[in-house]
Structure 1
Amino acid sequence: MPIAAAYRDIRRLVFGVLALVGLAFAVQGVSAAAPAATAPEASAPAAAQADAAPAKGEPAVGADAAGNTDGGYEHLGPEWIKGQPTAFEDSPLKSMTFQDQYTDDGQFALGMNDYILAPVIVFISAFVFFLLLVVVVRYRRREGREPSRTTHNTLIEVIWTIVPVLILIVIAVPSITLLARQYKTAPADAITIKATGYQWYWGYTYSDNGGFEVISNMLPPEEAEARGLPGHLAVDNRMVVPAGVPLRIQTIGADVIHSFAVPSLWFKMDAVPGRLNERVLTIQEPGIYYGQCSELCGARHGYMPIAIEAVPMDKWRQWVASKGGSFGDEAEVTEAADIQAPASATEGAPAAGDGPTAADDGNAPSVPLDATEPA
């Protein structure tokens, strides 16, 4: 069989594979564009707030998106949600990659994936696929060709040893750099926030600001959608932090192992009972960032989302003051600091395996919460 005929067959096979891939994408696009059930319309306050979108860099002014008011502090509205997954109908290519990143480490990692890992993977896969096609077409049984029986070839062995080593070195340099960046020690002036994982909700303790704790439970999906917020991600009390400032995030589990993970901030750290893990986090710009517990922790593992609200420093100080917190020398942290006890330590509280708990306000102990009742 002439070589030209062999390559003609290869081209036909490649075109056939590409046609099948294109057809698969077309079918997926048609199914994604099919009309879905209409979501409930946003409530009047939420719609009015969306119409009056603030300028970039300033928090929203209007109704409290979290459903409560904290001493006059205005929470960010749904137009400030950032880093969410992209729908296929909006961008087929972007829907298959990572979320937008809003930290320096996240942008470094995303660049490493897009400009180093992905090209290397595509090149190696395409090269091996091409070699397989050549072998399949040229040495078909009906052609009667006898393949080479070469068992030792010094040049080939040197090439297939050196090339993979070089590829691994190219990958190793940014990988080790990323690891070092992720576990850099927090600066002395970083703001300390402890995230405690409970079954099945989160508690955020502001150790540098008087030690108060905020309990965060998932909102019922219908209530979240009525406020213009994503279902199964919106919470009654967000973790409010300042943007552009180093944060010392500490995690611990109150009962079992949980995991504090926010994809758009390139942050994931386990919350282990009896062990305090720590990592620095600096959010580049104001916004609302969502995550989930990423460690299987029981029956309601999928119902303990994470919502971080990053705001300018002056707005964050206003929020801390509304919670009764203090700053710097004003803080008087004692053994009797105003910290909420975990649900398991409250008399009459549900045991592990019962429904989640929520606080009536920022200072009261946790009480049982019926999952069917709005938070």
Structure 2
Amino acid sequence: MLLTKIFADHPNTWQLYFQDSATPIMEGIVNLHNDLMFFLIVIAIFVIWMLTRTLMLYIKSNNPIASNIVHGTAIEIAWTVTPSLILMMVAIPSFALLYSMDEMVDPSLTLKVIGHQWYWSYEYCDYIDSGYISNNKLFMLKSLNYDSYMVPEEDLELGQLRLLEVDNRVLLPVESHIRAIVTAADVIHSWAIPSLGVKCDAIPGRLNQIGMFIKREGVYYGQCSEICGVNHGFMPIVIEAVNPKNYINWIKAKCTV
């Protein structure tokens, strides 16, 4: 019997942890979070132990005469150097992750994202004035752009997610370097897909870019993460990652003149 793993690529009820990662960047974010939690737990246990010992040893019943010690050079050096070393251990992987998020590999596909009140527009800009030959015939490709609106609750089909499903999904190929150029037409929005480790502000009059490398096929859900007005919670994002062959067939069907 063929078994398939079900990935959590959308928020679940009472979810406390991250959604399953689908890009190297998101894997790095999850690993950094786990490393930081280790330091957090160790420091929390130590601080609680110190407070407990202080309360037990320095209450009036155990020490009726107050100590006249006001400082200690050794302990002051220790509580200054130790946190500094911990911060350095945290900073090194943090900076490495930040620089990798800003690094832009030569992309094979550019997707332009435009935020509106309250929907998203997408443009595939790589296919203008290009074409392909099939059966000794030349077929020209036109630019592809469309709007993506949330599906109203009364129009949802069985299995679709409330407040997260859209009428036009974004189709992207897996195992390809993708550049998303993000902007807005009216107010500030934020294009965010947790499973992909993507969160990029959409600012009117400015182009921000972010890179993606999706490692597995799937449907990934996100939402606008910048309060942009009364319908801020009703402009979801849906990315459908497919294998390159299916993506090329989809582009041919959509863009062929």
Deviations 1:326-345 (A, max 9, x none): 8xxxxxxxxxxxxxxxxxxx
Question: What do you get for the CA RMSD once the two structures are aligned?
Answer: 2.0
CA distance in structure 2 between the aligned counterparts of 1:240 and 1:305, rounded to whole angstroms: 15
Match of 2:155 among 223, 228, 242: 223
Unpaired runs of at least 5, structure 2: 129-142
**As a proportion of its length, which structure holds more helix?**
1
Once residues 97 and 157 of structure 1 are traced to their aligned partners in structure 2, the CA distance between those partners, rounded to angstroms, is 37
Q: Aligned partners of 2:256, 2:3: CA distance in 1, in Å?
A: 29
Matched AA of 1:203: S
- Structure 1 residues 86 and 227: alpha-carbon distance in aligned structure 2, compared to 1, 3 A threshold: closer
Please state whether the residue corresponding to 1:202 is helix, strand or coil: strand
What is the one-letter code of the residue matched to 1:263? P
1:16-73, Cα deviation, whole Å (9 max, x unpaired):
xxxxxxxxxxxxxxxxxxxxxxxxxxxxxxxxxxxxxx986xxxxxxxxxxxxxxxxx
Aligned partner of 1:283 in structure 2 is: 214
Partner of 1:240: 171
Number of equivalenced pairs: 242
State the structure with bigger RCO (CA 8 A, min sep 6), 1 or 2.
2
In 1, Cα distance between equivalents of 2:172 and 2:13: 28
Q: Which residue of 1 aligns with 2:180?
A: 249
Matched, 1:174 2:61: no
Whether contact under 8 Å (1:82, 1:287) holds in the other structure is: no
Deviations 1:291-344 (A, max 9, x none): 000011111010000000000011111111222258xxxxxxxxxxxxxxxxxx
Shift, 1:80, TM fit = 7.7
Distance 1:143 1:158 in 2: 28
Report the AA paired with residue 208 of structure 1: D
Residue equivalent to 1:200: 118
Q: Summarize the Cα distance change of 1:143–1:158 in structure 2 as closer, same or farther, 3 Å threshold.
A: closer
1:193 match: secondary structure:
strand
Alpha-carbon displacement from aligned partner over 1:187-223 (angstroms, at most 9, x marks no partner): 1x42000010011000110000233212100001243
- Change in 2 beyond 3 A, CA 1:80/1:246: farther
Alpha-carbon separation, structure 2, partners of 1:325 and 1:270: 32
Structure 2 match to 1:111: 31
1:94-151 alpha-carbon deviations (Å, 9 max, x no partner): x32221111001111111111x200111111111111111122222334444453322
Q: TM-score, normalised by structure 1?
A: 0.61
Q: 1:85 aligns with which of 5, 8, 11?
A: 11
**Distance change in 2, residues 1:193/1:325 (3 Å):** farther
Matches of 1:212 and 1:80 in 2, distance apart? 32
Q: Take 1:96 and 1:162, find their aligned partners in 2: how far apart are those partners?
A: 34
Please tell me the residue identity of whatever aligns with 2:239: I
Verify: 1:296 aligned to 2:249, yes or no: no
Paired AA for residue 250 in structure 1: I
In the alignment, the residues of structure 2 paired with residue 303 and residue 161 of structure 1 have an alpha-carbon distance, to the nearest angstrom, of 48
State the one-letter code of the partner of 2:147. Answer: I
* C-alpha spacing 1:220/1:260, structure 2 compared with 1 (3 Å): same
* 1:220-279 per-position Cα deviation (integer Å, ceiling 9, x unaligned): 12433x331110000000011111111010100011111000011110000111111111
SS of the residue aligned with 1:141?
coil
